[in-house]
């Protein structure tokens, strides 16, 4: 059965980041994810996990200068060395944190970039990162993110593009991170798409749309979708990556029926 983890970059914003681990555990979550751990020593983050008996489910590779608008290094020509260094750093953190999945944000190509060079750079970087991750016992994922609202210009913005990338990177082991919110914004038709892509999916995330808030605030039928995911045999984690309305605790009504599921073992 699907098991839900809290994305601490989005949930429990009422408290400083180090305190969110305890709040997530108190709410009944058994695992956590977040965008990046790199502002804190890995050993310190591990202490927060262990103190609250939480599994580190997933985090992203470093994504460049986030404050300046960068959203990933993988598709940026001329930044290959920086990308390879980011893979090494992410894997160092993953080893310390016991994290078995890393997400690689494709990025936003610079204006005027040659499309073929951008795509070739992305493929070469993904092959490198996937092999490095496999050697470390970690699964590398890529995530399509909507380019209409949240990340204008983001290269990897549709599920079919991710599917094609995964096929071309093979035999390097690359998986799919599928976010219901992003793909509803870009393409809809979620249930049949999930059925087609389920063999590739290594992690899932969700938020309602529009607004990117908790289930019940928008147009998605989450009970139906979660039951569909279960029927398709998904046994991994699903990350709650939404912006709560009126506080995190008040946003967790959806979680009551799912909170006692046993966490995945891998």
Q: What is the pLDDT of residues 134-149, one digit of tens each?
A: 999 999 999 999 999 9
Tokens representing residue 239 in the block: 């990350």
Determine the pLDDT at residue 265: 64
Q: If you average pLDDT over residues 161-176, what whole number do you get? A: 96
Q: Assign 264 a pLDDT band (cuts: 50, 70, 90).
A: confident
Determine the pLDDT at residue 262: 65
Residues 201, 205, 208, 210, Cα dihedral to 10°: -80
Per-residue pLDDT at 1 exceeds 90: no
CA distances from 211 to 36, 106, 214, 219, 247 (A): 23, 24, 9, 10, 15
Strand 3-7, strand 31-33: pairing:
parallel
Q: If you average pLDDT over residues 172-194, what whole number do you get? A: 97
Token look-up 């404050």 returns: 67
Report residue 251 CA to chain centroid gap.
20
Catalytic annotation, residues: 143, 241
Per-residue pLDDT at 261 exceeds 70: no
148: Cβ–Cβ under 8 A, 6 or more apart, which residues?
Answer: 185, 186
Given a contact cutoff of 8 angstroms between Cβ atoms, the answer to whether 214 and 244 are in contact is yes
Burial of 251 (0-12, 13-18, 19+ CB in 10 A): buried
**Per-residue pLDDT tens over the stretch 81-94:** 999 999 999 999 99
**Per-residue pLDDT tens over the stretch 186-217:** 999 999 999 999 999 999 999 999 999 999 99
Burial of 249 (0-12, 13-18, 19+ CB in 10 A): middle
Tokens representing residue 172 in the block: 């390097």
Task: Domain 3-255: state its class.
Answer: alpha beta
**Per-residue pLDDT tens over the stretch 32-76:** 999 999 999 999 999 999 999 999 999 999 999 999 999 999 999
The percentage of the chain sitting over the pLDDT mark of 70, rounded to a whole number, equals 97
């Amino acid at each position: 059965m699907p098991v839900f983890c809290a994305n601490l970059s989005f949930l429990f914003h009422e408290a400083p980041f180090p305190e969110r681990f305890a709040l997530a555990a108190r709410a009944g979550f058994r695992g956590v994810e977040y965008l990046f751990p790199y502002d804190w020593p890995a050993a310190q983050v591990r202490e927060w996990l262990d103190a609250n008996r939480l599994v580190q489910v997933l985090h992203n590779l470093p994504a460049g200068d986030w404050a300046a608008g960068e959203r990933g290094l993988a598709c940026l020509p001329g930044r290959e060395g920086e990308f390879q260094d980011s893979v090494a750093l992410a894997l160092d953190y993953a080893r310390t944190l016991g994290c078995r999945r890393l997400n690689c944000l494709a990025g936003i190509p610079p204006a005027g970039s040659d499309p073929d060079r951008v795509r070739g750079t992305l493929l070469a970087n993904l092959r490198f990162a996937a092999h490095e991750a496999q050697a470390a016992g970690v699964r590398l994922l890529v995530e399509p993110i909507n380019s209409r609202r949240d990340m204008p210009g983001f290269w990897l913005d549709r599920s079919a593009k991710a599917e094609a990338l995964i096929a071309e990177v093979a035999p390097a082991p690359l998986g799919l991170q599928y976010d219901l919110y992003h793909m509803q914004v870009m393409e809809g038709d979620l249930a049949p798409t999930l059925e087609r892509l389920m063999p590739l999916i290594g992690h899932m995330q969700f938020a309602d749309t529009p607004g990117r808030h908790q289930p019940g605030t928008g147009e998605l039928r989450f009970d139906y979708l979660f039951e569909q995911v279960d029927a398709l045999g998904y046994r991994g984690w699903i990350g709650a990556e939404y912006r709560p309305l009126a506080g995190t605790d008040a946003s967790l009504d959806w979680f009551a029926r799912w909170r006692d599921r046993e966490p995945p073992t891998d």
